Amino acid sequence: MKATPMEYIRNVGVMAHIDAGKTTVSERILFFTGRLHKVGEVHDGEATMDWMIQEQERGITISSAATTTYWRDHRVNLIDTPGHVDFTAEVERSLRVLDGTVALFCAVGGVQPQAETVWRQAEKYGVPRIAFINKMDRTGADFDRVVLEIREELGANAVPVVIPIGAEGSFRGIIDLVEMKAIYYDDSPTGTAIREEPIPDDLKARAREAEAAMIERISEQDDPLMEKFIEGIAPERDEVVRAIRKATIAGRFIPVLCGAAFKNKGVRKLLDAIVDYLPSPVDLPPVIGASLESDKELIRRPRDDAPLAALAFKIQSDKHMGKLTYVRVYSGSIALGAQVYNSSVGRMQRVGRLFEMHANDREPIEVLHAGEVGAVVGLSDTLTGHTLCSHEHPILLESIEFPTPVIGVAVAPASSDDRDKLSSALHRLADEDPTFVVRSNQETGEVIISGMGELHLEIILDRLKREFGVSVVSDRPQVAYRETILAPVDHEYRHIKQTGGRGQYAHMAFRVEPTDPGSGFQFEDEITGGKISREYLAAIERGIVEEMTRGPYAGFPIVDVLVTVYDGSMHDVDSSEQAFRTCGRMGFREACLRAGLELLEPVMSVEVTVPDEHTGAVTGNLCSKRGRITGMDARGNATILQAMVPLAEMFGYASEIRNLTSGRGTFTMQFEHYESVPYAIAEQVVEERKLAHAVRA
């Protein structure tokens, strides 16, 4: 297959709050670009991009799906991402490798919590965005209000490049402010026919006003256009498109479009905007990585003849193919049968097969060129975030950061036949999903699986049964508590053991002190005069890190602690790395008990949309869950409640909110921070944990 010129490639994602219509927009894009001949609907379970059976049953996106299609001779690599906060890792990994993204907003709901979260994720990675206000045909749709919310709540320079003709049931089309013409869509089931007409007289004044605002806003970002604007000269269409593109790529301008994807309205104009305004790989700065030999930064430019630099951003288990590794090639190319170097683990890997992906279908290809996204079979040692490069020119690209799981559940095989299958299945699922963590409790023999929320774990358990044929027994979900120390303390510890022959000797004086929430573990060395050697200090740190995995208060991991070693001694014969590792472990445990410990729990940011008549009942219910109401906004006949609530109190809330509001209330929830647990509740948690351990023993 002939390579697409780099400037004609668009690596684009679709991101939004749950139910804003991401998958519907993606399906329409595939339909209008000719990739699909029939539109698949989310509510019918037939959406191409929602290929997992769990997605089809629930009508939500769980796994980011990639596909390749073409529009106006441009290759569009499209990734549809989930909107549910439990699957935020899928958004994180997609944004890391995308060049641009379409941020979808519901014309009724506006800027909702997860929309804000993914917007901030895009800002973190510097990904240029265009906004598409969807569902303009819904009751309560308000284009101007949503544009204002994008500006005020997201701090974005959002500027309409189209305005709607009508709204709600009377939404008929859009006015293109760049071309200054009206576009009408027919109301047939396919909605494929459009008419371009002059702007109707009753909308001319509004269209001119919106056009002037657009030209003024874009002139602020473009000096030649500003000169024309000041002199009152109307710019050419190409000048406006060029200026919008330049400012969008720089992140200083957010073009806003609108439509109703379910009715096929506005999608082709969105495709035009993707091609016209979002960047190609050559429009962005070259990728920067680290040298393996020195601290020097290495630059890789998006060219096929440059050394290979690619990032693995997603792992997918396939029952026919085995392990599929999704990669983004930043420079060089990956050819079928080639040997590539995984610089993250220091291993050579052979490329067995290469595919261009179309959701769950794939098309074999011979080579993946610079700037392209595809899937590779054969990279058994490669995981999410690993770098693939040429052995002669090694480079290490920045990996992908993922949030820490906040909820866990104990699982056990339902029968002895399932035991081996369970271990293999959990390993494969953990390879796929960096926010899914599996650990074994050495004392109880339990396997604990942790994830981002109840839905996340529910999907994992469902996949174990359906995809891997493993039946498991699971407890109710458990909160991922943490421990931390209350006060600074200085401590001294000697580890001396004489058992005949060579003994063990290690001695250290150190200080432990609490640090700011979220700062993790910090280790400082203030040793002078070589009282403890560097290798033994490293062993002390390893011992402390080991001990931090199981705190002395309730057996939960210890966080947010600074340890400073400032004195100690060693023995010429009896000191060893093992002795100092044990010294670090035991000394740290004693110091923590002296400092005093408290339990920390994950606190969630909760947003509840509730009909006005049920506001009081829902507010009271949240307060009874140790929740703090942080905001209350009116939106139509509904109230939006914002609250901070401990995760421990939120299990089963989906059923509660349905009962409280006669099925009309909805809520979203995402992890915010860790916070101290009240003493009485902490003691109860510790007692329950001890009891559970005693029962298992």
Task: Name the residue among 630, 639, 638 with its Cα closest to residue 605.
Answer: 630
Do residues 375 and 323 touch, judged by C-beta distance below 8 A? Answer: no
Q: In whole angstroms, what is the distance from residue 676 CA to residue 678 CA?
A: 6
CA dihedral sign of residues 330, 331, 334, 339: negative
Region 519-531 average pLDDT = 89
Q: What is the pLDDT of residue 177?
A: 94
For residues 368 and 373, give the distance between their C-alpha atoms in angstroms, rounded to a whole number.
7
The answer to whether residues 102 and 62 touch, using CB atoms and an 8 Å cutoff, is no
Pairing mode, if any, of strands 322-331 and 396-397?
A: unpaired
pLDDT of residue 41: 46
pLDDT given at position 693: 63
- By three-state DSSP, how is residue 507 classified? strand
pLDDT value at position 562? 95
> Where residue 225 falls among pLDDT bands split at 50, 70, 90?
confident
544-548 average pLDDT score? 93
Beta-strand pair 347-350/287-290: unpaired
Say what the pLDDT of residue 189 is: 56
Q: For residues 385 and 311, is the Cβ–Cβ distance under 8 A?
A: yes
- Single-letter amino acid, residue 46: E
Q: What is the pLDDT of residue 280?
A: 93
Q: Of 63-67, 184-188, 317-321, 504-508, where does mean pLDDT reach its minimum?
A: 63-67
* Domains of the chain, first to last: 9-206+254-283 (3.40.50.300), 287-397 (2.40.30.10), 410-476 (3.30.70.870), 483-595 (3.30.230.10), 599-680 (3.30.70.240)
Residues near 302 by beta carbon (within 8 Å), at least 6 away in sequence: 6, 281, 282, 286, 287, 330, 331, 370, 371
DSSP helix/strand/coil, 344: coil
Residue 63 confidence (pLDDT): 52
Report the candidate in 687, 124, 600 with the shortest Cα–Cα distance to residue 404.
Answer: 600
Contacts of 225 (CB under 8 A, 6+ apart): 215, 218, 219, 235, 239, 240, 243
* Mean pLDDT across 37-58: 45
pLDDT of 129 reads: 94
Q: Would you say residue 695 has pLDDT above 70?
A: no
For 79-83, 84-88, 129-133, 235-239, which range has the lowest pLDDT when averaged over its residues? Answer: 84-88
Per-residue pLDDT for 44 more than 60? no
- Name the pLDDT band for 55 (thresholds 50, 70, 90): very low
Question: pLDDT at residue 36 above 60?
Answer: no
Give the residue-averaged pLDDT of 299-315.
90
Q: Between β-strands 65-71 and 297-300, what pairing exists: parallel, antiparallel or unpaired?
A: unpaired
Instruction: Give the SS3 label for residue 508.
Output: strand
- Taking only the tens place, the pLDDT of each residue in 342-359 is 999 999 999 999 988 775
pLDDT of residue 688: 79
pLDDT at 590: 95
Per-position DSSP letters for 345-400, written without gaps between them: TTEEEE--EEEEEETTEEEE-SEE-TT-EEEEE--TT--TT-EEEBTTB--EE---
Is-contact 484 514, C-beta < 8 A?
yes
- 9 contacts 281 by C-beta, under 8 angstroms: yes
In our burial notation (b when 16+ CB lie closer than 10 A, e otherwise), range 32-58 reads bbebbeebbebeeeebbbbebebbbeb
**In this structure, are residues 643 and 622 in contact, taking their beta carbons and an 8 Å threshold?**
yes
pLDDT of residue 665: 78
CA–chain centroid gap for 412, Å, is 29
- Please give the C-alpha separations between residue 3 and each of 105, 298, 329, 369, in angstroms, as whole numbers: 34, 26, 13, 7
At what angle are helices 113-124 and 88-97 packed, to 10 degrees?
Answer: 30
pLDDT-based confidence at residue 666 (cuts at 50, 70, 90)? confident
Q: Over 80: is that where the pLDDT of 501 sits?
A: no
* Pairwise CA distance, residues 341 & 207, whole Å: 56
The CA distance from 525 to 562, in Å, is 11
- When pLDDT is cut at 50, 70 and 90, the band that residue 149 belongs to is very high
pLDDT-derived band at 191, boundaries 50, 70, 90: low
Residue 503 pLDDT: 83
| Residues in Cβ contact with 416 at an 8 Å cutoff, skipping those fewer than 6 apart | none
Average pLDDT of the chain is 84
Bigger pLDDT: 478 vs 555: 555
pLDDT category at 48 given cuts 50, 70, 90 is: very low
Q: What is the pLDDT of residues 591-635, one digit of tens each?
A: 999 999 999 998 988 888 888 888 999 999 999 999 999 998 887
- For the ranges 77-86, 260-269, 398-407, 508-517, the maximum mean pLDDT occurs at 508-517
Instruction: Give the lowest-confidence range in 50-64, 71-85, 628-642.
Output: 50-64
Least confident of 238-242, 257-261, 276-280, 418-422: 418-422
What pLDDT shows up at residue 283? 92
Band of residue 82 on the pLDDT scale cut at 50, 70, 90: low
Tokens read off for 163: 């305005």
What tens digit of pLDDT does each residue of 550-570 get? 888 888 899 999 999 999 999
395-450 tens-digit pLDDT:
999 887 777 777 778 888 888 777 778 888 888 888 888 888 888 755 445 688 88
Strands (E), 537-595: 561-569
State yes or no: pLDDT of 40 exceeds 60. Answer: no
Answer yes or no: is pLDDT of 150 > 50: yes
Task: Provide, rounded to the nearest whole percent, the portion of the chain with pLDDT above 70.
Answer: 89
Q: Which letter, b or e, does each residue of 331-367 get, where b requires 16 or more Cβ atoms within 10 Å of its Cβ?
A: bbbbbeebebbbbbeeeebebebbbbbbbeebeebeb
> Do the beta carbons of residue 308 and residue 349 sit within 8 Å?
no
How does pLDDT run across 262-297, given as a tens digit for each residue? Answer: 888 888 999 999 999 999 999 988 999 998 887 788
Q: Which residue has the tokens 């290798």?
A: 535
pTM of the model: 0.70
For residue 64, how many other CB atoms are within 10 A of its CB? 25
